[in-house]
Chain A
């Protein structure tokens, strides 16, 4: 029944085509190659323009910035904003703090998330409840639990330390890491693991020698994503650190606005100093990252 109706529709569509009806032209406009290319080039432009703009601003003379918002520098290109940004603000310290927090918390996240995900998928540990709890924790706005987390960190005397922030980032990123690794572990054929068990491997050995090598791309993608999330994280860093000693890059440069008025040249240079390391990671691992993100995102 449905088929016959479908064929009729196809025929009328073909007919409309031969007649060069409005449908024909609409089809040309919206599905034609030029339209597609223009759309995609606009997309590329939209992505790059803001980034290009602050890169240019960071190279303009401060006087020029104050008098004109033009995209390209008109006068002399200068590095003064970069020099000032590093001289006026302990940027190096902020970047160092961010690196320490991001790297250590990521290693801890992976150490926790990989065995957990494996256990949940293979042995159904925690039934439906544990995965639901993990997902619920991810959906919950972090601000909701920020008062008790602040209190707990204070209780163990880790406020204003990198160690405190490392622990909080590790815990906050754990749910997303489980979510990302999930689909990679699911894709491993069960038989491989069963063969390992028959060979006398323990469950830990199977995980480490069979599963982990197979999901290396997934671990890499998850690691890079949690690394970047920790590097970018704002709220917990805001409430848990309050000095140069432990401020991370986002908090450090957000203070910048208040302390120095709006020095857009220096601000652009400072912002770029934190952006560039991330972009290098993105370019190095782009294939992996796209794979990791899209696998986790569309599963029903």
Chain B
């Protein structure tokens, strides 16, 4: 009895996780796939089988197209900026012991601030009449009138990106710092003996050695950035017009505001396919880059 139990212990240990994965990913995906062929609403699930009508509709849905393009623009822009600044800052901090202790703790703050609170902070900062940004821009004579940052079609998206950059740059900074700390010391000592310049050491030693890890950080952050929802929901609700419409938010709108769960299901499947393709391409791309570096 005991021996059999012992034999099945490893399986027993993963059983709850297996069940959770069924409940939270496999069953929902089958459900969504099923519902995507129907004309369902939130009140009448699995109503009226209509085959690929929802998918056909999706390909002519301009807002959906916009939301996909916006998601990609958002994710690639913020991830590039965050990884870039995160790396520069981590690099600058390498030799500053005193500041590094403080910064490690402070860097956690934006990352763990509730997104709803982040949204409120930036809503206040951007507010045309009561916000700090317009106040100082006007006071210092940098702008003549008040700028409605979140209400302007061309400024709303960059404004949201700035809030996201505030939240996530410290995260990239922490990861880059760990990557830099993990580098071997010997090559540096050799370079010191040879009297190489800072820039030269950076270009020839640090960058090639740390590049693989930086790429991982970039991909990791990119995959999270593709899920963006909270800031959009609370700062602009996809507007003005559809200028800040992103995939997650559009799915939410279709399913939970327009109650078209069937159509929302079809869009969900398309988004999933897109993200899987993107993730595969990026991992392949990463492998190609790594081979080149070697």
A residues apposed to B, CB below 8 Å: 6-7, 9-10, 13-14, 16-17, 23-24, 26-27, 30-31, 33, 35-37, 39-40, 43-44, 46-48, 50-51, 53-54, 57, 65-71, 111-113, 115-116, 118-120, 122-123, 125-126, 130, 133-134, 136-137, 139-149, 151-152, 170-172, 174, 178, 202-204, 207, 228, 231-232, 234-235, 238-239, 249-251, 253-254, 257, 262, 264, 267-268, 271-272, 274-275, 278-279, 281-283, 286-287, 289-290, 293-295, 297-300
Additional pairs, 20, CB under 8 Å, beyond known A6-B204, A228-B112, A274-B117: A10-B196, A40-B89, A43-B89, A44-B99, A70-B135, A119-B14, A125-B14, A140-B272, A143-B252, A145-B24, A147-B268, A170-B20, A232-B115, A235-B252, A249-B116, A262-B123, A275-B114, A286-B108, A294-B175, A297-B178
Expressed in whole angstroms, the minimum distance between the Cβ of B276 and any Cβ of chain A is 8
Q: Does B198 contact A (CB under 8 A)?
A: yes
Chain B residues with CB below 8 A from A141, complex form? 226-227, 229, 247-248, 251, 271, 275
The CB with the most chain B CB atoms within 10 A, among A148, A151, A264, is that of A148
Q: Does B166 contact A (CB under 8 A)?
A: yes
Minimal Cβ-Cβ distance residue in B for A252 = B116
A119 lies within 8 A of B10 (CB) = yes
Residues 164-200 of chain B, each 1 if its beta carbon lies under 8 Å from chain A, else 0: 0010001101110111001000000001001111111
A147 lies within 8 A of B109 (CB) = no
Question: Which of the residues A10, A67, A69, A134 comes within 8 Å of B134, measured between beta carbons?
Answer: A69
Give the complex CA separation of A250 and B233 in angstroms. Answer: 12
Chain A residues with CB below 8 A from B207, complex form? none
Would you list the 7 A-B pairs with minimal beta carbon distance, nearest first? A69-B135, A294-B178, A119-B13, A145-B28, A123-B10, A148-B28, A148-B31
Minimal Cβ-Cβ distance residue in B for A152 = B23
Give the complex CA separation of A30 and B200 in angstroms. Answer: 12
Give the complex CA separation of A27 and B170 in angstroms. Answer: 25
Expressed in whole angstroms, the minimum distance between the Cβ of B237 and any Cβ of chain A is 11
Q: Does B93 contact A (CB under 8 A)?
A: yes
List B residues 89-132 near A (Cβ within 8 Å).
89, 92-93, 95-96, 99, 102-110, 112-117, 119-125, 127, 129-132
The CB with the most chain A CB atoms within 10 A, among B17, B96, B233, is that of B17
Q: Does B220 contact A (CB under 8 A)?
A: yes
Could you jot down 8 A-B contacts, CB within 8 Å? Answer: A126-B14, A137-B25, A139-B223, A148-B27, A170-B20, A267-B124, A289-B108, A294-B174
Q: Do A232 and B14 form a contact, CB below 8 Å, given A27-B197, A40-B96, A171-B20?
A: no
Q: How many A-B residue pairs have CB under 8 A?
A: 314
Q: Does B261 contact A (CB under 8 A)?
A: yes
Minimal Cβ-Cβ distance residue in B for A291 = B178
Q: Does B240 contact A (CB under 8 A)?
A: no
A144 lies within 8 A of B272 (CB) = yes
Main secondary structure of the interface of B (DSSP, over half): helix
Chain B residues with CB below 8 A from A66, complex form? 129-130
Minimal Cβ-Cβ distance residue in A for B233 = A234
Give the complex CA separation of A47 and B108 in angstroms. Answer: 10
Q: Does B147 contact A (CB under 8 A)?
A: no
Chain A residues with CB below 8 A from B182, complex form? 298
Expressed in whole angstroms, the minimum distance between the Cβ of A132 and any Cβ of chain B is 11
Question: Which of the residues A13, A33, A172, A298 comes within 8 Å of B24, measured between beta carbons?
Answer: A172
B24 lies within 8 A of A274 (CB) = no
B25 lies within 8 A of A140 (CB) = yes
Give the complex CA separation of A13 and B134 in angstroms. Answer: 48
Minimal Cβ-Cβ distance residue in B for A123 = B10
Q: Do A40 and B93 form a contact, CB below 8 Å, given A51-B109, A144-B272, A264-B130?
A: yes
Question: Which of the residues B116, B123, B220 comes within 8 Å of A234, measured between beta carbons?
Answer: B116
Chain A residues with CB below 8 A from B96, complex form? 36-37, 40
Expressed in whole angstroms, the minimum distance between the Cβ of A255 and any Cβ of chain B is 10
Question: Which of the residues B89, B114, B194, B275 comes within 8 Å of A250, measured between beta carbons?
Answer: B114
Give the complex CA separation of A51 and B110 in angstroms. Answer: 9
A282 lies within 8 A of B275 (CB) = no
A13 lies within 8 A of B23 (CB) = no
Give the complex CA separation of A178 and B234 in angstroms. Answer: 30
Chain A residues with CB below 8 A from B119, complex form? 254
Give the complex CA separation of A43 and B175 in angstroms. Answer: 16
B175 lies within 8 A of A297 (CB) = yes
Chain A residues with CB below 8 A from B20, complex form? 112, 170-171, 174
Q: Do A235 and B112 form a contact, CB below 8 Å, given A48-B106, A297-B217?
A: no
Chain A residues with CB below 8 A from B121, complex form? 50-51, 53-54, 271
Q: Does B72 contact A (CB under 8 A)?
A: no
